[in-house]
Structure 1
Amino acid sequence: MSEPARVSLTKSSPVVSLAKHGVTSGLIKVNLNWTSPGAAAERSRGEARGVFGRIRASLQAAAARDVDLDLGCMIVCTDGTKTVVQALGNAFGAVRSFPYVALDADDRTGANDAGENLVINLDHQDEFQKLLLFVYIYEGSGDFRGLDAVVTLTSDRGDSFRVVLDECPPHARACAIALIRRRKGELVIEREVRWFTPQDGPGVQDVISRAYRLGMKWTPGRK
């Protein structure tokens, strides 16, 4: 058996076939990790030495912003069914039943070392036409710059496919991370890292869905 793959999806190499790496069944975990400025400042305050160092670190921690990123997945099935898995509206999904995609946690601060994790059950991959992974700022000021957000997809046997959310433009509050879609009968991962700066008007999910022509209908939700 070949060694597990270690692939970074980049602008110059944005597509990878899951089948060619033997990832055709089992679970694949999608991990979102980032560093909240507020969490980073709190850690610095705990590590600060000396009176003036602690004072400076405390001031920085007080000024640092907290940010709540939400990971989600828009799903288009081969039979035309469409749905979304996300914390908003408590649409956490399910792994062993439809939609065979589930979000296992909602990290509201960026302080959780495990970040947020979404699981896709590839035992039912024949039912997937498109899976659009996305992330947006649910609460908090600013944009994605300085958050060092990284998304890693990991198979049961340890294959990893990494996407760095880089080159964020000013005011961007959402990102289409990657599109997992069926191509010639197999699933491929395509790096997107497409940034969105929605203002007042349609919700960010609607903006992303329209951009990818997914034809999904949205209603307001809370978490």
Structure 2
Amino acid sequence: MTEPPTMNLTKTSPTVSLDKHGVTSGLIKVNLNWTSPRAAAEQAAGEARGLFGRLRASFRSAAARDVDLDLGCMVRCTDGTKTVVQALGNAFGAVNRFPYVALDKDDRTGAHATGENLVINLDHQADFQKLLLFVYIYDGSGDFRGLDAVVTLTSERGDRFRVRLDDCPPQAHACAIALIKRQEGELVVGREVRWFTPQDGPGVQDVISRAYRLGMKWTPGRK
């Protein structure tokens, strides 16, 4: 059986109805993958030819930075209940109980081939009012430029919906990736790729929450 093709959510085609694709139940995986500048430099060093080429690549590798991106999901339910699933504060969530969204691990370097993954249990989609997928730089200098960050939503039968985190402005340290909500009776995924910089204010989760009027209250957390 041929797997369904990957659908790219872009500026010109930013939304997709999961109902129209028959994705109305079961688990849907949200994968974040990116290329760490240090991992890319180390790979280049390993592929470099000649003594001077290897030395130059080794110096670049030593100077390259590690970047820790954190994938998260803000959940607002139909009964008004709100929460967040993220590595910060060890709020990894749960699939078979509230909030029916879970994060599998915290990839701190971008070196893991599988990246970071959220799982959303669509068997409980009637409980969801809004699911906001977001990502931010937890540790590491700079911004998202050059990280080649990609988020892919994959259903159990193989439907794939991809969002590339492109057009990153300077100093952008966080991004609202996509908003999943009910629209005219259907569950719709909408591409956002809305960037946030330190100038938007401290506490990136609070800034994103207020931008989307999710009404969440935040306390300091650590991991």
TM-score range, shorter chain: over 0.9
Please name the residue that 1:174 is paired with.
Answer: 174
Equivalent-residue separation in structure 1 for 2:27 and 2:65 (angstroms) = 35
Q: Which residue of 1 aligns with 2:116?
A: 116
SS, match of residue 142 in structure 1: coil
Cα pair 1:198 1:207 within 8 Å, conserved: no
Indicate whether 1:36 and 2:36 are aligned.
yes
1:2, CA displacement in angstroms?
A: 9.3
Secondary structure of 1:99 counterpart: coil
Paired residues for 1:116-155 under 5 Å: 116-155=116-155
- Evaluate the alpha carbon distance shift between residue 87 and residue 51 of structure 1 in structure 2; reply closer, same or farther with a 3 A threshold: same
- Alpha-carbon contact 1:171-1:197 (below 8 Å) kept: yes
Deviations, residues 67-110 of structure 1 (Å, cap 9, x unaligned): 00000000000110000000000000001111000000111001
Across the two proteins, how many residue pairs are aligned to each other?
223
Question: Match of 2:188, SS?
Answer: strand
Q: In structure 1, what is the Cα distance between the partners aligned to 2:3 and 2:43? A: 37
Secondary structure class of the residue paired with 2:210? helix
- Is 2:200–2:207's contact at 8 Å kept on the other side of the alignment? no
Give the AA of the match of 2:8: S
Q: Does the 8 A contact of 2:77 with 2:128 survive in 1?
A: yes
Q: Distance in 2 between matches of 1:70 and 1:41?
A: 21
- Return the letter of the residue paired with 2:101: V
Partner of 2:106: 106
Which residue of structure 1 aligns with residue 221 of structure 2? 221
Equivalents in 2 of 1:202, 1:174: separation in Å? 12
1:114-170, CA deviations, whole angstroms, 9 ceiling, x for partnerless residues? 111000000100000000000000000100000000000000000000000000000
Q: Which SS does the other structure have where 2:187 is aligned?
A: strand
1:192 alignment partner in structure 2: 192
| Structure 2 gaps, min length 5 | none
> 1:21 is paired with a residue of what secondary structure?
coil
Give the Å deviation of 1:14: 0.5
Aligned pairs (5 A) from 1:1-20: 4-20=4-20
Q: Is the 8 A contact 1:85 1:91 kept in 2?
A: yes
The answer on whether the counterparts of 1:5 and 1:160 sit within 8 Å (CA) in structure 2 is yes
Q: Give TM-score scaled by structure 2 length.
A: 0.97
Counterpart contact for 1:70–1:106, Cα < 8 Å = yes
